[in-house]
């Protein structure tokens, strides 16, 4: 660990955010004519898998075309779609022996991938990508270094959490966007919103576990969700208070009613958002801003600091990789690594991809996006706020697992519909998480 910490030590000060829906798509480019000579390199067909929104899809497809134009012997097939269900699809592909050659990995999937790490490239043991370009981002690397010390991918960008606000609603109601939203302030501002319009809500989210329950729980516990020794970093009482707090947000009409957003997985599709009936929602700035801007207009998009108590021992303000690029071990590995190197180091790729995978961790790519004003208003202010207020334990690999979000969301719904109490939900949450973590420990991942 010390070795890789030493390799990477200077950029995080400069470059200091699952969840959009869509059907999986494939894009295949026809193989060129077979009228080749003996001197021409062997034809290689690879598959590249990623998730995101339409803007990321289109930019990535253009980057693939640019790479193939300069390496005509390599054909890349794109497999892409929305976040929901993609990790399950990827793990199924690994089990069936059909995993893609290059894959985009969300931090929340990393622990699942430990079970197939023998099929993946160890980036410590390759010489195509110079790891020195990630200097200063050791915290990002910690997310994808396996228990065996294997570097399973390289970061494509750095992200954090934020609040996306609708300036039109803020101005209409009289909400001050210059002040961070503490937990108590949510209730104060919600009263103003409802006094203005009883059909309007201060906030909404399809993911109350990820963006509210989890943060509130970390503020209380001051520790990781799951400690590095596989024990819980919170108590049942703290979990009960967190479930009760989320329910209070619904009861006092801070949050849009849960039954109004059943089945919604993309924030901008929440009823009332484009109709100026929702003031804000929590998400990740680097992966969501373009769709938000498209939904309400550039002039109305606000990017604000995330929710949480920055005075707590664990502020819950996190800085993590937006996504990683990983590669499958096969005879195509050299081409896969060369393509990843193109995506994160080539100037042409920088001009095409911009910040579609959030704020770049590569110095030259970061300079490109800042020099060309590709960052939306408020983005760097939030990054600066999060850097200054990132305190306490934050997140570790064991805590950053999409499984916990699934359980949190189910239990929040049970409390909301009166099928459980906060205390009963907390007991079930503790029992379920303990069993899951015990299985992880037994697997020695």
Element (H, E) at 158: strand 158-159
Q: What is the dihedral of CA 96, 406, 277, 322, to 10 degrees?
A: -60
Are the CB atoms for 47 and 77 separated by under 8 Å? Answer: yes
Distance separating alpha carbons of residues 200 and 210, to the nearest angstrom: 23
What per-residue confidence (pLDDT) applies to 285? Answer: 84
What per-residue confidence (pLDDT) applies to 316? Answer: 86
What per-residue confidence (pLDDT) applies to 189? Answer: 98
From 70, 74, 81, 80, select the one nearest 46 (Cα to Cα): 74
What per-residue confidence (pLDDT) applies to 109? Answer: 84
Strand 278-283, strand 201-203: pairing = parallel
* DSSP 8-state code for residue 32: P
| Phi, psi dihedral angles at 442 (to 5 degrees) | -65, -35
Distance separating alpha carbons of residues 341 and 345, to the nearest angstrom: 6
Lookup: tokens for 15? 């470059």
* DSSP 8-state code for residue 212: I
Lookup: tokens for 38? 């003996």
SS3 per residue for 42-63: CCEEEEEEEECCHHHHHHHHHH
Q: To 10 degrees, what angle do helices 214-221 and 236-251 make?
A: 140
Lookup: tokens for 343? 């995506």
Query: Largest Cα–Cα distance of the chain, in whole Å?
Result: 77
Residue-range domains of the chain with CATH: 2-30+43-159+319-389 (3.40.190.10), 162-316+401-443 (3.40.190.10)
Are the CB atoms for 28 and 48 separated by under 8 Å? Answer: no
End-to-end CA distance of the chain: 16
Cβ neighbours of residue 33 under 8 Å, at least 6 residues apart? none
What per-residue confidence (pLDDT) applies to 247? Answer: 98
For residue 182, the tally of other CB atoms under 10 A from its CB is 14
| Phi, psi dihedral angles at 292 (to 5 degrees) | -65, -45
Which residues, in sequence order, are bridge partners of residue 151? 145
Q: What is the pLDDT along the chain (445 residues), one digit of tens a residue?
A: 433 333 334 333 434 333 333 344 555 444 444 444 456 788 999 999 999 888 899 999 999 999 999 999 999 999 999 888 899 999 999 999 999 999 999 887 887 888 899 999 999 999 999 988 876 655 565 667 776 788 889 988 888 899 999 999 999 999 999 999 999 999 999 999 999 999 999 999 999 999 999 999 999 999 989 998 999 999 999 999 999 999 999 999 999 999 999 989 889 999 999 999 999 999 988 778 888 999 999 999 999 999 999 888 888 887 777 888 999 999 999 999 999 999 999 999 999 998 888 888 777 888 888 888 888 999 889 988 988 887 655 567 778 778 898 999 999 999 999 999 999 999 999 999 999 999 888 876 5
Distance separating alpha carbons of residues 319 and 306, to the nearest angstrom: 12
Total residues belonging to the chain: 445
Distance separating alpha carbons of residues 414 and 426, to the nearest angstrom: 11
- 74-81 sheet: strands from edge to edge: 25-27, 74-81, 44-51, 102-105, 324-327, 154-155
DSSP 108-169: GGHHHHGGGGGGB--GGG-SSS-GGGGTT-HHHHTTTB-TT--B--EES-EE--EEEEEHHH
């Amino acid at each position: 660990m010390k070795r890789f910490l030493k390799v990477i030590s200077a950029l995080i000060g400069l470059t200091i955010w699952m969840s959009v829906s869509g059907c999986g798509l494939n894009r295949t480019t026809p193989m060129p004519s077979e009228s080749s000579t003996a001197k021409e390199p062997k034809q290689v067909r690879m598959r590249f898998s990623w998730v995101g929104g339409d803007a990321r899809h289109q930019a990535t497809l253009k980057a693939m075309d640019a790479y193939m134009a300069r390496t005509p012997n390599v054909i890349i097939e794109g497999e892409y779609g929305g976040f929901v269900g993609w990790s399950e699809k990827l793990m199924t592909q690994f089990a069936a022996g059909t995993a893609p050659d290059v894959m985009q990995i969300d931090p929340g999937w990393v622990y699942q991938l430990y079970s197939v790490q023998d099929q993946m490239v160890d980036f410590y043991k390759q010489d195509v990508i110079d790891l020195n370009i990630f200097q200063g981002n050791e915290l990002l690397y910690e997310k994808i270094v396996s228990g065996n010390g294997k570097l399973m991918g390289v970061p494509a960008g750095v992200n954090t959490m934020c609040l996306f606000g609708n300036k039109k609603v803020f101005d209409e109601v009289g909400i001050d966007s210059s002040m961070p939203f503490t937990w108590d302030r949510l209730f104060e501002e919600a009263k103003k919103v409802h006094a203005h319009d009883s059909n309007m809500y201060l906030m909404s989210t399809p993911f109350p576990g990820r963006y509210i329950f989890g943060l509130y729980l970390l503020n209380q516990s001051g520790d990781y969700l799951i400690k590095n020794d596989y024990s819980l970093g919170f108590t049942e009482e703290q979990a009960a208070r967190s479930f009760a707090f989320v329910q209070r947000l619904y009861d006092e009409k801070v949050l849009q009613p849960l039954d109004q957003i059943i089945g919604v997985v993309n924030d901008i599709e929440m009823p009332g958002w484009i109709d100026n009936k929702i003031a804000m929602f929590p998400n990740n700035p680097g992966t969501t801003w373009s769709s938000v801007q498209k939904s309400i207009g550039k002039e109305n998009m606000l990017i604000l600091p995330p929710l949480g108590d920055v005075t707590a021992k664990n502020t819950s303000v996190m800085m993590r990789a937006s996504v990683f690029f990983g590669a499958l071990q096969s005879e195509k590995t050299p081409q896969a690594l060369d393509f990843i190197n193109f995506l994160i180091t080539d100037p042409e790729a920088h001009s095409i991809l911009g910040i579609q995978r959030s704020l770049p961790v590569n110095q030259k790519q970061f300079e490109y996006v800042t020099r060309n004003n590709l960052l939306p208003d408020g983005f760097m202010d939030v990054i600066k706020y999060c850097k200054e207020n990132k305190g306490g334990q934050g997140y570790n690999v064991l805590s950053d697992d999409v499984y916990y979000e699934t359980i949190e969301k189910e239990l929040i719904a049970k409390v909301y519909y009166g099928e459980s109490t906060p205390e009963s939900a907390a007991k079930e949450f503790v029992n379920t998480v303990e069993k899951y973590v015990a299985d992880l420990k037994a697997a020695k991942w």
